[in-house]
Chains A and B, each alone.
Chain A
Amino acid sequence: MIPLPRRGRNTEPAEGRRTGPEERSRVRAFGLRTRLLAAFLLVAAVSAGTTSALTYREARNALLKTAQDTAVSTFREQVQQTGFGLPVQEEGMEEVLRDLARKGKPRPWVVFAEYGSVRASSGENPVSTVITPGLRRAALANPYGSFERVVKDGVLYLTIAMPTVFRTGPYDTLPSGLVLYAVMRMTDEQINVDALLTAARDGALPGLAVALVPGLIAARSVLRPVRELRRAARSMGSGRLDTRIAVRGNDELADLADTFNESAAQLEDSVHELREAEARARRFASDVSHELRTPLAGMLAVTEVLDEDADHLDSDTARAVRLVSAETGKLAVLVEDLMEISRFDARAAELNADEVDVAETIRKTLQNRHWTEDDRVHAELPTGIRARLDPRRFDVVIANLVGNALRHGGAPVTVRLRTGERPTGTPVLITEVADRGPGIHPDSIPYIFDRFYKADAARTRSAGSGLGLAITQENVRLHGGTIRAGNLPEGGAVFTVEIPLHAEEATA
């Protein structure tokens, strides 16, 4: 028998159980959505950050360069309009410097002059604290204008050193030894650059926010087919083999959906074929049994007559006649069993449940089979246990188990009746049939209820049809119960049947 997924069965509990992972996936830490979003944000952050940073740097450098170059050239032009006698004299110097400072463009600056030991300035202190020794050295070593940005006490200054030269001839100049310094606060530049920085940052952050949108869309476009695929796979797993996915687009995910659909279609076809083959096989067995029944009935009638007359035949013929009669009887049992099991397979078996006294039912079964007449069968049947059972089927169960125990196990066979509870709390009727035989080989226990299973491979022919335990199991199942086979610790096999006391509830 092929274990086939059954339509419509067990789907509710399965669905209910699996809502867990679905909800978990929405908050999964490193799920596909998180990773896709992270990747998008990272790319956006890198590009926005790099662009902003480079733009900002270029703009800042351009801004600074303009400001510095303007300041240096303005200062040079202004200095070139002044004149000094050599040696430079301290008196009168301050007025010249103040004049220079007033003309400072675009911003006023403080002008310092250094010549020999002469120190003068347009401000309050004759010597600047901002000008670095490096700038002084550079100004004195080379007759070139130079500047340096200095941060002092958190304030940014531009310091310009302007060495002066004077003409010694129409084509020649000589450094005069007088160096003029201008010190200017770069407040405006700092404000502008800060504004640039703010702009770059404020430009990058909305860029990141905007990148979130395509990130979410991309994640959705990937995740939706994946989610559909998962739903479809689960649906297939629960038996709905006609599940298909809508194929959208032309990408890899669409290919995957296509493949899934193809596989599902092939699986559905295969399963359909298998089902049909199985149904045909069952129908065949059922038909064969039916067809055999009529001739067998005739044969049974004939063999009965022959059996009666066997005593008058010679011994060889009589033995042959009895053999034929016995085998015909076995054949009849086999055919009956086959038909019974066919009904189970076709799900045609019906449970005609009735409220019965179980002890009474079992006792009747044993009496009908004439097993209570000697000591071979011992029954422990407490009275007062009532259950909803199909008396005919329960009779088959008990008869099969006891008959089986007598045939394969060893007397005395004990039939015990009690009630119990399943772990789920359902009250059950427990019937145990134990024998004192050699027990069941442990290797055989898993297969003991299989059809035509022979526990002893050497014993190919037995009194039974080989279907007894299989039919027993089907009958117990029909009651919503279970049957187990096992060995007692003191020796002997034991079969335990558990049937819910209220069969309607279990099968409902």
Chain B
Amino acid sequence: MRRTRPHRRAAALAVAAAVPLLGGCGIQESDVIEAGGPATVEAFYNRSEEVILFFRTPDGRLNPVIRTVGSSPGFGDEYTEPGPAGTIGPPTTEKAIAELLTGPRPKDRAAGLTTALPPTRPGATIKIDPTSGSTVTTHLPFPLKDLNTTALRQLTCTIAYSKDPGGRLTVKLTGQDGGSHSDTCGLPSGTPG
């Protein structure tokens, strides 16, 4: 008995020495590790002529696309008049919503983008109430109850980014049926580094 005790102690020491030696040989796999911010790329977005529309990706997320307002034929043209003050301002929210409602173009479809919004008759009136504070109220020419979450978010984000470059606005949607929905876009926005 007297002899085994130092041996046991020695074994424990050897194990203690061996653990750090054996525990980290070579390079192991790692978890996903965050390393700095995203890359800011040039998307050639011109706020005075273009609007950001949000369409649905195959995996159910929203991707922004940039669309030049006015280049579209048809009913879009009548909205390219100068702003109330007579100066050339950014495209109005009504135009952005109208563009969103026309749905993805072939280029968008090629990238797998779709819309969750129902097809709309051309010429339907979209009315925006004058902005009060950080809330913008939009009256839509169709009932809200037919829209799913993705469709509501498409509308919310498109409206928010047309009014504010950061999209930090609360958007209230009211439909023909009198239903209403109030939300923020909630996409992660940031300041360029």
> Which residue numbers of A lie inside 8 Å of B, CB to CB?
30, 38, 42, 45-46, 49-50, 52-54, 56-57, 60, 64, 68-69, 72-73, 75-76, 79-80, 82-90, 115-118, 132, 134-135, 138, 140, 142-151, 156, 160, 162-178, 180, 186, 189-190, 193-194, 197
B40:A166 contact, CB within 8 angstroms:
yes
Q: With A and B bound together, what is the CA distance between A149 and B62 in angstroms?
A: 29
Assuming the contacts A173-B40, A177-B64, asked whether A57 and B20 have C-beta atoms less than 8 A apart, the reply is yes
Q: Are A177 and B27 in contact (CB under 8 A)?
A: no
Least Cβ–Cβ distance between B96 and chain A, in angstroms: 13
Asked if A164 contacts B27 (CB within 8 A), the reply is no
- A144–B36 CB distance below 8 A: yes
Q: Which of B17, B25, B41, B190 contacts A84 (CB under 8 A)? A: B41
Interchain CB contact under 8 A, B39 and A163: yes
> Nearest 9 CB-CB pairs, A to B?
A117-B112, A169-B165, A83-B42, A166-B43, A177-B63, A79-B39, A116-B112, A53-B20, A172-B166
Please give the distance in Å from B82's CB to the nearest CB on chain A.
Answer: 21
Contact count band on B: 35 or more
A181 to chain B, nearest CB (A): 12
Supposing A45-B14, A168-B165, A168-B166 touch, asked if A90 and B26 sit within 8 A by C-beta, the answer is no
- With A85-B43, A87-B111 given, is the CB distance from A148 to B63 under 8 Å? no
Query: In angstroms, how far is the closest chain A Cβ from the Cβ of B2?
Result: 11
Closest chain-B Cβ to A352's Cβ sits at a distance in Å of: 62
Task: Name B141-193 residues within 8 Å CB distance of A.
Answer: 161, 165-167, 187-192
A79 CA / B43 CA spacing, docked (Å): 12
Main secondary structure, interface of A, reads mixed
Rounded to whole angstroms, the CA-CA distance of A97 and B124 in the bound complex is 43
- A sample of 25 inter-chain contacts (CB < 8 A) reads A49-B20, A64-B27, A68-B35, A79-B39, A84-B41, A86-B63, A87-B107, A116-B57, A118-B111, A132-B32, A142-B188, A145-B35, A146-B33, A148-B32, A165-B38, A166-B45, A168-B165, A171-B192, A172-B167, A174-B161, A174-B189, A176-B43, A176-B63, A177-B63, A190-B26
Partner of A175, one of B17, B113, B165, B187: B187
Q: Is the CB of B36 within 8 A of A171?
A: no
User: Is B189 touching A147 in the complex (CB atoms < 8 A)?
Assistant: no
Which residues of A are found within 8 Å of B16, using beta-carbon distances?
46
B166 to chain A, nearest CB (A): 4
Q: Does B27 lie within 8 Å of A174, measured CB to CB?
A: no
Contact A117 B58 (CB under 8 A): yes
- Shortest B190–chain A CB gap in Å is 5
Question: Is B78 an interface position by the 8 A CB rule?
Answer: no
Q: How far is the CA of A86 from the CA of B34 in the complex (A)?
A: 26
Contact assessment for B66 and A86 in the assembled complex, using a CB-CB cutoff below 8 Å: yes
- Asked if B73 lies at the interface with its beta carbon under 8 angstroms from chain A, I say no
Which A-chain residue is minimally distant from B39 (CB atoms)?
A79
Contacting residues, chain A, for B47 (C-beta < 8 A): 168-169
**Contacts A118-B111, A170-B165 given; 6 further ones with Cβ under 8 A?**
A142-B34, A160-B35, A172-B165, A175-B38, A176-B63, A197-B25
Q: Is B61 an interface residue (CB 8 A)?
A: yes
A336 nearest CB across to chain B (Å): 64
- CB atoms of B21 and A115 under 8 A apart: no
In the assembled complex, the Cα of A134 lies from the Cα of B190 at a distance in Å of 23
User: Is A72 a contact partner of B42 (Cβ separation < 8 A)?
Assistant: no
Residues of A with C-beta under 8 A to B61: 140, 177
B5 within 8 A of A: no
Complexed CA–CA distance, A73 and B23 (Å): 30
Chain B interface helix/strand/loop/mixed: loop
- Expressed in whole angstroms, the Cα–Cα distance for A351 and B93 within the complex equals 145
Q: How far is the CA of A352 from the CA of B21 in the complex (A)?
A: 84
> Is B84 engaged at the interface, CB distance under 8 Å to the other chain?
no
Among the listed A45, A135, A169, which residue makes an inter-chain contact with B17, where contact means beta carbons less than 8 Å apart? A45
- With the chains together, A288 CA to B55 CA distance in Å? 139
Which of B33, B110, B161 makes the CB contact (< 8 A) with A90? Answer: B110
Contact indicator B20/A54 (Cβ below 8 Å):
yes
CB of B59 to closest CB in A, whole Å: 8
| Chain B 1-20 per-residue mask, 1 if CB under 8 angstroms from chain A, else 0 | 00100000010011011101
Report the minimum CB–CB distance from A386 to chain B (whole Å): 63
A91 to chain B, nearest CB (A): 9
Cα distance A305–B173 in the bound complex, in angstroms? 168
B24 sits at the interface (CB 8 A): yes
Q: Determine if B28 is an interface residue (Cβ-Cβ < 8 Å).
A: yes
Q: CA A135 – CA B62 in complex, angstroms?
A: 19
Q: Which residue of A lies closest to B42 (CB)?
A: A83
Among B63, B66, B188, point to the contact of A143 (Cβ < 8 A).
B188
Q: Shortest beta-carbon distance, A429 to chain B, in Å?
A: 56
- Residue B87 at the chain A interface, CB threshold 8 Å: no
A157 to B38, CA, bound (A): 21
Q: Across the interface, do B113 and A116 meet the contact criterion of CB distance under 8 Å? A: yes
Question: Which residues of A sit under 8 angstroms from B55, Cβ to Cβ?
Answer: 87
- Tell me if B191 and A172 are in contact (CB < 8 A): yes
Given contacts A49-B20, A87-B111, contact A177 B40 (CB under 8 A): no
Indicate if the CB atoms of A171 and B29 lie closer than 8 Å: no
B37 at the A/B interface (Cβ < 8 Å)? yes
A135 to B166, CA, bound (A): 27
Choose from B17, B24, B30, B65 the contact partner of A149 (Cβ within 8 Å).
B30
B36 and A83: CB pair below 8 A?
Answer: no
Residues of B within 8 A of A171 (CB): 165-166, 191-192
Selected contact of A30 from candidates B3, B36, B189, B191, CB within 8 Å: B3
Chain B residue numbers with a CB within 8 Å of A30 are 3
Contacts of A116 in B (CB 8 A): 57-58, 63, 111-113
> Which residue, A118, A162, A170, A177, has most C-beta atoms of chain B within 10 A?
A177
B13 / chain A contacts, CB cutoff of 8 Å: 42, 46
Q: Are B40 and A164 in contact (CB under 8 A)?
A: yes
- Is the CB of B108 closer than 8 A to any CB of chain A? yes
A residues less than 8 Å from B14 (CB atoms): 42, 45-46
